[in-house]
Structure 1
């Protein structure tokens, strides 16, 4: 346990850190508790965030297919593209706002709380949406509100975690995110026939778990921080980090962008790939099985790679290897389009993705230019994850229209390999 500092001293330390540090420096001590406790609590919070992200893989396509089975691919692309665009814009704005928030509860807590409440309300709207446009609008609000949760939540890593624990923290966070995606798919698949109940369950989890997280892990007061005046050009630069001044940031962003695009092109269409390419009549009956298979790979990849990257003080080799493993996994269903082939792909893909998320998250935290803008810059980096949710469905739709579902795999393989190559020009992180 850390010894709590007097409130005024803690506030001064926090203000000094924000004013002068970058992502490659240790933050001030926690308000109370220990890093180990923070790491334990990040698991359920990350789990719930990821469970919500699993909704468009099961409940949304199922709900859309009930309404208009003949146009399901187009309608799904519409819903995911519009909501992805909202998330894309909201992410950096949420980060910018949280960076500049002055409150006794800190910079991040107010937005995590408010965002979780809006997410819950929008999910209730999803439950009772009666048209594709209703689903589109409701899911748009879910994604925008999630940006105000995820942006501040992701900033906890550079805000509070010392450098020598970031790989471990990122590993636990990665396990939570990957496990949440699997558990979310299982819960959603189990509730497809009662999808309204499913949306209600996710809404309750979003509010309950995230409120407990902020209650048990308080942040430093941010009332004493200095806030620079925000002009119009500063607002425009919310979506920009100069690649010439910060080339490492640029390469880390690029690597994540291309790899996530390839990943989303295949996994984002899993429901329809299983039904129309592999020939499974009820994909929702098999998604939990593939989820369990993937969970084993996720845990192995994340548990091993995160702590090892801390031990060796190296991030790039792990991220490179993970990207290559994901590319190799995508070869399997391309040449072996069966239930077994998809399961093999899922296991290898999960192993690589688990390695990637654990170590790449730590790497990203170390290329951030300034503590003043951790939230904003992480919001920009998160564009590399949210933009593929926008362009991925569109790109997938074009590829499917021209080549059929089989065309998704070679395109995703090339993108994964480009993501591996883009890691090596980074100089400030080994």
Structure 2
């Protein structure tokens, strides 16, 4: 797979063009050498990360919370996941800004990726040992902080190293890896339903190994000779802000990602409880999760196999976001009208197709509206708030809707949000 020893620095890869110069990027780029190796090694690294996000908040954490207080599981889970997502939201821009300013023998991103995976693994050991809700909450916040110090720099590698002409392909691969990891994590986690502590250890170890190998096979260049940028409280505070008046395309992309993810997470974060209460499966819900996961994965595979390369060939991104939002809306309408196991399977397949289309082009679209090349990590951290903030808002919003109107009301609310998310990218001018 590799064309040279992973300990040798690769030939220099030209930096990706900034938004200002994106139009001059080449229209055809051969996937060979370091670029091909990056494409081939990205899936295991991203899958290992998203296995965590599928297994932990989707299955293992709800089960662990329910074991301690089954009667109040919904409220307790909402509090813990909201605290964790809030920590993630605050961490990603900070992680991106710090990695932008990092000067080391191993480049800007690698030290944070490996170090975050190691600390995150230790935090998961804390989750495994926790036996009170307070301990779980503290450990979960630490997990979110550590792994978002991985995710921010890992996300920045694409605009760092990948030319614009092939970003659709990379976005499709990364998007499918995210869906494969998320759904696969839910499926695999059901096997640890009776051994939650073992599940935490397994997922932590896998992430550490895969991420360390990714950094080893894709070494960054030594950047100790580059000018050092200031690291101050004021500069770090800027990590959490961008001016939408100066960068309207970036603002619209942020809003589109925020709304679409909020609608999607409104359903997926409560999938286990929806199966138990809304569909009426009770304890049998755990065994049905893998069925939904497989339906989603099959549909996602089709969407990513077609969407990313076709987006590169057509030179268009927004139409895929429009299509994704419509397909997601249709998917959510099915179990709303048909609250059965069949309805949930149809939802899972259609949602996999819709979110897969979105994921194939979302990273590429975002990479083409970033305001400044020297701040790729920081800006990606800011826009990634649009993926983590919905996790903060979704539990509280879903809980309020479910308590006030019942679980069935989650679906029409989700439909409105995903459709608005698709429409939000329409004003973007820099991307077709």
Q: Same fold (TM over 0.5)?
A: yes
Contact conserved, 1:119 with 1:206, CA < 8 A, in 2? no
Shift in alpha-carbon separation, 1:115–1:26, aligned structure 2, 3 A? farther
C-alpha separation between the residues in 1 aligned to 2:10 and 2:150?
28
Q: Distance in 2 between matches of 1:348 and 1:393?
A: 23
1:359 is matched with 361
User: 1:273 maps to what in 2?
Assistant: 274
| Contact 2:16 2:159 (8 Å CA) reproduced | no
Query: Taking structure 1 as reference, are residues 9 and 172 closer, same or farther at Cα in structure 2, changes over 3 Å only?
Result: closer
Q: CA deviation at 1:186?
A: 1.1
**Aligned partners of 1:184 and 1:287: how far apart in 2?**
11
Check whether the contact 1:122–1:142 (CA below 8 A) recurs between aligned residues: yes
**Residue of structure 2 aligned with 1:319, choices 318, 321, 324:** 321
**Pairwise CA distance, 1:26:** 5.7
Task: Determine the C-alpha separation between the residues in 1 that align with 2:360 and 2:17.
Answer: 28
1:141-156 mapped onto 2 (5 Å cutoff): 141-156=142-157
Residue in 2 aligned with 1:47? 47
Please report how far the alpha carbon of residue 41 of structure 1 lies from its aligned counterpart in structure 2 after TM superposition: 0.3
The answer to whether the 8 Å contact 2:10/2:219 transfers is no
Which SS does the other structure have where 2:190 is aligned? Answer: helix
Where does the alignment leave 5 or more consecutive residues of structure 1 unmatched? none
SS at match of 1:223: coil
Q: Which residue of 1 aligns with 2:297?
A: 295
Q: RMSD value over aligned CA atoms? A: 2.3
Alignment of 1:22-101 (within 5 A): 24=22, 33-54=33-54, 55-101=56-102
Relative to structure 1, is the Cα distance of residues 426 and 71 closer, same or farther in structure 2, using a 3 angstrom cutoff?
A: same
1:42-91 CA deviation, whole Å, 9 max, x = no partner?
01011101100011110111111111001000110011000001000000
Kept in 1, the 8 Å contact 2:183–2:293? The answer is yes
Q: CA deviation at 1:175?
A: 1.1
CA gap 1:224/1:176 in 2 versus in 1, 3 angstroms: same
Matching of residues 371-382 of structure 1 within 5 Å = 371-382=373-384
Structure 2, unmatched stretches of 5+, are none
**Structure 1 position 387, deviation (Å):** 0.4
3-state DSSP of counterpart to 2:319: helix
8 Å contact kept, 1:23–1:367: no
**1:234 Cα deviation after fit:** 2.6
SS state of the match for residue 244, structure 2? Answer: coil
Residues 216-255 of structure 1: CA distance to partner in whole angstroms, max 9, x if unpaired?
A: 1111222122233344433222111110110000000000
Q: Report how far residue 362 of structure 1 moved.
A: 0.4
- On the 8 A contact 1:18/1:372 being kept in 2, the answer is no
1:23–1:365 contact (8 Å) kept in structure 2? no
**Rounded Cα–Cα distance in structure 1 between residues aligned with 2:383 and 2:123:** 25
8 Å contact kept, 1:315–1:363: yes
Q: What CA distance in whole angstroms lies between the structure 2 residues aligned with 1:307 and 1:182?
A: 23
More displaced, 199-208 or 233-242? 233-242
* Matched residue count: 423
Superposed CA offset, 1:104-159 (max 9, x none): 11100000000000111111111111011111111111111111111000001100
- Contact 1:22-1:371 at 8 Å conserved across structures: no
1:304-357 CA deviation, whole Å, 9 max, x = no partner?
000000001111101111111111110011110000100001100100101101
SS at match of 1:106: coil
Specify whether residues 324 and 9 from structure 1 end up closer, same or farther in structure 2 by C-alpha distance, changes over 3 A only: closer
Cα distance in 2 for residues equivalent to 1:349 and 1:41: 27
Mapped to 1, the partners of 2:335 and 2:373 lie a distance apart of 43
Which residue in the other structure is 1:166 paired with?
167
SS state at 1:171 partner:
helix
Residues 264 and 392 in structure 1, CA contact (< 8 A), matched pair in contact too: yes
Secondary structure of 2:194's partner? helix
